[in-house]
Amino acid sequence: MAMDLSSKISRDLIERIKEISGQNANLCMQCGTCSASCTGREVMDFPPRQVMRMIQLGNTKALNLKSIWVCSTCLICTARCPRGIDIARLMEALRVINLRQGREVLVAEKIPLELLTEVPQMALTSGFRKLSA
């Protein structure tokens, strides 16, 4: 996962994430508490610890991970991070950069009808807010 930190694209990404999240990902010491606690870890492509490392390195692949969409913002990573990093905000930053470019994963037409008619309203509002542009 080595990256050239001097590359402008990486530096821009690091800066952008910092600005949106207000978090310093460099505090992460890769202990893995977030990954061990994560709700979605088993269906993620990379667990939160590795996403943190990608952010530290300005690895633009972080923007294309399934993990950032699988995060249910349950805040367990944030609650348990021994370095006090609000990891959920970093995940949100990655989503937000995508969403503001029009990339989304939750498409209304793809929600099965049996679910759409049964699910509580709050699920639709929260789902679209987090996963749709």
Partner 1 sequence: MRIPYFPGCTLHSKAKGLDDSTRGSLAALGIELTELPQWTCCGTVFPLAQDNYIGMVAAARILANAAKEEGGKLVTVCSFCYHVLKRVNYVIKNNLEARKKLNDYLEENYAGEIEPVHPLQICKENVGLDAIRDKATRNLKGLKVACYYGCMLVRPASEMNFDDPENPTIMEELVSAIGAEVVEYSYKTTCCGSYQILYDNDLVMQKVEEILNSATAKGAEAIITSCPLCQFNLDWSQEKILQKNAGFQKIPVLYFTQLLGLALELPQESLGLDQHYVDPRPLLVGA
- The contact set with partner 1 (CB under 8 A) reads 19-22, 39-40, 42-43, 69-70, 72-76, 78-79, 86, 88-89, 91-93, 96, 105-106, 111, 115, 118-127, 129-131
Q: What are phi and psi of 77, to 5 degrees?
A: -65, -45
Nearest distance from C-beta of residue 39 to partner 1, angstroms: 4
What is the residue type of 29? M
Residue 44 region by backbone torsions, left for phi larger than 0, else alpha for psi between -120 and 50, else beta: beta
Nearest distance from C-beta of residue 119 to partner 1, angstroms: 6
Nearest distance from C-beta of residue 9 to partner 1, angstroms: 21
Q: Which is nearer to partner 1, 19 or 102 (CB)?
A: 19
Residue 58 region by backbone torsions, left for phi larger than 0, else alpha for psi between -120 and 50, else beta: left
CA angle 33, 2, 70 (to 5 degrees): 45
Q: Which is nearer to partner 1, 54 or 91 (CB)?
A: 91
